[in-house]
Structure 1
Amino acid sequence: MNKKRFVGLVCSLVMTAGTIAGCADSNGTPQGAQAVPDNTPLEITIATPQVGEAPKKDSDIELAIEKYTSAKVDIQWIPTAAFEDKKNIMIASNEMPKAFKLTYNATTLNAIEAGLFWEIGPYLKDYKNLSAANPMYYDNIKVGGKLYGLPLYRDIGRAGIIYRKDWFNDLGLKTPVTLDDWYNIMKTVSEKDPDKNGQADTYGMFLDKSYNDAALSNSFLTRLSVPFGAPNKWGVENGKIVAEFMTKPYQDSMKLLKKMYQEKLINQDFSVVQTADADNKWNSGKAGIRINTVASAVATSFDNLAKSVPNAVVDIAPYMGTSGNRVPAESGNNGFFVFPKSSVKTEAELKRVLGFFDKLLDPDMSTLLTRGTEGKHFTKASDGKAEFKDLTLFNLEVKPYRDSLPSFEVTGLGLPLKLNELQAKGWKVVEDNLKVVVPNMALTLTSKTYIDKGGELDTMIRDAQTKYIMGKTDDAGWEADLDRWKKAGGDKVMEEYTAEYAKLKK
């Protein structure tokens, strides 16, 4: 839908509702726009999904934010289950807050392409905190090569190998670098009875059905194959976008799983196992490697295991391969804030709103959003780092703001959190990963065919992979399934992604 038609529809809907709203003209310029005097307090309305119990109006955290930023803040907490419907109504009526948290989906893209929101990319250079963030945070939410939103920052390179160091030491194992290493670990842990109970009930890893989820950059097959040169979901070969499962490194990883399945070195029911069931295997001391989590959770993984196996020793290592330390980049956000032209009337007002968000990343605000208030939610340790005093109270009073406003967590701009040795190692892996993450080259590209048939195509290829690993098809059968995927729309998806990619490269 083009901009004139979309905006015309919006205005029509608004007038039908009997509401007068500041619709844009055909050039996307807000009508009746008036400058906001610089000497008046900024009034900023924010709409965001509710996280936990909605904080009370004028809470201590909200008042502290207002005092520091010299703004009057009005946050509309919308229950998560109702958010998409509410969002669509607000967009259709053009009655939106000044900062609107959205996610990357078809409705959002249509509204952005219709010109309802400000492009903010050219302004970021003027804000010290916003401009200092890794550019990938912004690249991952661009539309047509332009930036329209500020992300709720999340770690981009979270992959890590959490493993039973006591087992590895006893069995003479090292963390894997080659596919043969992975095979050797699976075989040794499965056959050498590392828990010494006399039963064949241990696994090198316990696979679950999300192992090849097309929507997850942290799916195991993607994490396994990227260090060997595979793309992260979608890559570029000879100027063309290709799917990961069409590449040799990915197919070699599939062949490894096939071999391990045939030799019963991985759980035979992996195609129906829930992630929670895989977690329980780790927690009960039956798995050598925990694959379905993030590096920063290594201390939690140890705590959960220690309840069943008090003497267990857990460690963390980066994913390595023949191409070195490479990990798939995740989206790096939990949604992003856009700024509607109907409510942010002028460029001057937009700059003030961006200034508000920039201030949220100042050390004092970053500490408030990620640690809470000193003496109430945290105390300072002897080394000056923060230690949570009342985590329950923090989760009730602070976490909703931390999860709904831009901030960085442990490696952020505020007061550092005191970490034990294992926690520090986990976060170090996350920090180091950021230097070697492999982006999903189609993350912000648009394919009409994928929008229309993506779910069907993803299911088709996931089922084909599972059949291959379980030995229900051979190499020829896999190639036949791949051809069927191409003919069903896969070729068209790659063609459309390639065309979009070529446009952005010009």
Structure 2
Amino acid sequence: MKKALALSMALAMSAAMLAGCGGSASGSTSASSAASSADSAASSADSAASGTPTVSFMIPDFTGHVLSNEHSDEVIAKYEAYTGTHVEWRTEANDTYSEKFGLTLMDKDNMPMILTATKTLDQNANAADAAKRGAFWDLTEYLQDSEAYPNLSQISPDVLKGLTVDGQIIGIPRSRAIGRNGLGYRTDWAEAVGITEAPKTVEDVYDMLYKFTYDDPDGNGANDTYGLEMCKYTGPWDIIQTWFGCGNGWVEQDGKLVPVHQTAEYKEALDWMRKIYADGLVRPDWATVDTANFQVDSQKGVTGVFVDTMDGTKRIWKYFEDNAIADVNDASKIATMTSVGPINGHTLATTGYNGFYLITKSGAKTEEDVKACLHFLDKMCDPEMMALADYGLKDICYDINENGKIVPNGKYDTTNCPHAGLNQAVPYVPYLTEQNPDYQLEKADYQLAYEESIANNVQYAVFNPALGYLTQSDTYAECGSDLVQILDDARTQYICGQIDEAGLQAAFDQWNARGGTQVIEEVNALYAADKA
């Protein structure tokens, strides 16, 4: 139910940068698409003659140079030989992709076989509406075939729940870490105030926040620090709520799905948040701090605890490395962050994906077409193809060091690299990064700590059980954003002491009247039918 926080900083040498980030594509995309289409037409004829399956695939373009740079022909030859598939790429500039996606859904005579949708299904009204009208293949039975699709068959059922419409799985997720959210803190500050173990309970967290605020953790003799960094982006409060057992957006109670603000645990969480604000453990103007400045206080030594994605904790640590921020206890060392993840055995699960692949009935007209699409997507998750999409070509884009690890040689950036754009066709399942030692990147300590934390978090991550039903709720489609805003505003006002319990209840009543009561009814009707 939450909008994702856009964070632009990325590791120059990490697969994550190549997998998810890039500048906006410009008008040059159309020109490159036209040239690509001409090339595709010629090679499609060759593919047909040789019996090689052809798959048409529409993806967002972040660079304006999808597979059209120097040595790109070698990349194309590699993935076609490995997957046994010829691909006709259709690229659309990322900054206008949502508009083009909607137009494509209306053009049944020119539909790609695989259509990439951005965001999540509940955030993509066009995809959800088209799914209800039967525009996409039901992938349920295919994804149970572990012999044909050894990678895709391992997609988490909890993730697939959010890609289910009318009981049919209609999308392959573009996977992101399920256990991405949690808590991180400055290791040297904890040592300075006598904290020797990572916090496990909310009482431990409160103790850390208090000491980071009032026990001079940076040793400068001034009262100039706060425990928790916050800004107007309120996602961290969602994570903190799960520590109290109230669930993620919705929770199952007595056989029904209930929005978390209607639980006793939610109120307990809000009272705890209100207390840390009243006790001065978070800066008093947090609700006005621009989202673009999130992490700045942690980087600059103003705060010591960061609750959000573990990527954020990693980036703070990287900042310390890049700027030689000294450990407050030993100036000869660089400061580090400790990634904790869950508190009280809970943390907020992500949806498990950011965008998804649809196999269209207008494009993939036969079952053989569907199998060709799934075969290609499955093979792109093999270590060889993930390495090709993430790092490019050996001896051209990267070298192998004395430890047998991949080291980018710096000759190319994400715009002009030979493999530009290929990562947009990788589902990244069952793994987000290469597990085969022959295809692993040389990684810094902060990257290794990040990967360890998100892998550990999965077992504690709490999913939203209503995701698959909210997508199908007509009332939620109409007023879902209003319902989210009502609760966000009330929570912030209550934490900051601007409203009392009566004001909080008034906001809940407003939520009911705006359509919340009807959403609960619709969600539970779908839930009951699904259980049956």
TM-score norm. by structure 1 comes to 0.85
Match of 2:489 in 1: 463
Residues 279 and 354 (structure 1), Cα distance of their counterparts in 2 relative to 1, 3 Å cut: same
Which of these residues, 39, 51, 66, is aligned with residue 62 of structure 2?
Answer: 51
Q: Following the alignment from structure 1 to structure 2, what is the Cα–Cα distance between the partners of residues 392 and 199? A: 46
Question: Which residue of structure 2 aligns with residue 452 of structure 1?
Answer: 478
Q: CA deviation at 1:428?
A: 1.1
- Name 1:137's counterpart in structure 2: 159
- Cα RMSD between the aligned structures? 2.3
Matched, 1:68 2:89: no
Query: C-alpha offsets along residues 137-169 of structure 1, whole Å, 9 cap, x if unaligned?
Result: 323312123112222121111123221110100
Which of 425, 431, 451 is equivalent to 1:427? 451
How far has the Cα of 1:204 moved from its partner? 0.8
Structure 1 residues 476 and 297: alpha-carbon distance in aligned structure 2, compared to 1, 3 A threshold: closer
| Aligned residues between the structures | 461
* Maintained 8 Å contact 1:49/1:83: yes
CA offset at residue 297 of structure 1? 5.1
- Aligned with 1:390 (options 410, 418, 424): 410
Q: d(CA) in 1 for partners of 2:150 and 2:261? A: 41
CA distance in 2, matches of 1:385, 1:250: 46
Alignment partner, residue 171 of structure 1: 193
Q: Which of the residues 293, 298, 304 maps onto 1:277? A: 293
Q: Aligned AA for 1:371?
A: Y
Q: Give the drift of 1:81.
A: 2.3
Tell me, in whole angstroms, the C-alpha distance in 1 between the residues paired with 2:525 and 2:370: 33
2:108 is the alignment partner of 1:82: no
Q: How far apart, CA to CA, are the structure 2 residues paired with 1:55 and 1:466?
A: 43
Report if aligned partners of 2:67, 2:421 keep a CA contact under 8 Å in 1: no
SS in structure 2 at match of 1:207? coil
Q: Secondary structure at the match of 1:48?
A: strand
Native 8 Å contact 1:227 1:319 kept in 2: no
Q: Which amino acid counterpart does residue 181 of structure 1 have in structure 2?
A: D
The answer to whether the aligner puts 1:189 opposite 2:189 as a matched pair is no
| Partner residue, 1:239 | 255
Q: Are the structure 2 counterparts of residues 287 and 44 from structure 1 closer, same or farther at C-alpha, using a change threshold of 3 Å? A: same
Contact 1:370/1:409 (<8 A) preserved: no
Change (3 A) 1:84 1:505: same
Whichever residue aligns with residue 82 of structure 2, its letter is Y
2:521 counterpart residue number:
495
1:112 matches 2:123: no
Secondary structure at 2:258's aligned position in 1? strand
State the Cα deviation string for residues 229-259 of structure 1 (Å, max 9, x = none): 1211111111222112222333222112211
Whole-Å separation in 2 of the counterparts to 1:59 and 1:110:
38
- Return the alpha-carbon distance in structure 2 between the equivalents of residues 136 and 121 of structure 1: 14
Residue aligning to 1:4: none
C-alpha displacement of 1:486? 1.9
- Letter of the 2:111 partner, please give it: M
**Which position in structure 2 is the counterpart of 1:437?**
461
Aligned 8 A contact 1:241 1:495 in 2: no
* Unaligned ranges ≥5, structure 1: 1-35, 212-218
* 1:33-52 equivalence runs, <5 A: 40-52=51-63
2:112 is matched with which residue?
97
Cα shift readout 1:104-151 (whole Å, capped 9, x = no counterpart): 221111111111211122112131121133333323312123112222
* Contact 1:176–1:320, Cα closer than 8 Å, also in 2: no
CA distance in 2, matches of 1:148, 1:63: 30
**What secondary structure, in the 3-state scheme, does the structure 2 residue paired with 1:318 have?**
strand
Q: Distance in 1 between matches of 2:58 and 2:435?
A: 24
1:295, 1:316 within 8 Å by CA — same for their partners in 2? no
**C-alpha distance in 1 between matches for 2:411 and 2:467:** 36
Q: Whole-Å Cα distance in 2 between the matches of residues 96 and 373 of structure 1?
A: 32
Cα distance between partner residues in 2 of 1:505 and 1:175: 40
Could you say if the C-alpha distance between residues 420 and 260 of structure 1 is closer, same or farther in structure 2, counting changes exceeding 3 Å? Answer: same
Distance 2:476 2:267 in 1: 22
8 A contact 1:232–1:438 mirrored in 2: yes
Contact 2:247–2:260, Cα closer than 8 Å, also in 1: yes
Preserved contact between residue 155 and residue 430 of structure 1 (Cα < 8 Å): yes
Partner of 2:342: 320
Match in the other structure for 1:402 = 423
Contact 2:67 / 2:422 at 8 angstroms: preserved in 1?
no
Checking the alignment, whether the CA contact within 8 Å between 1:159 and 1:318 is kept in structure 2 is no
- SS of alignment partner, residue 290 of structure 1: strand
TM-score (norm 2): 0.81
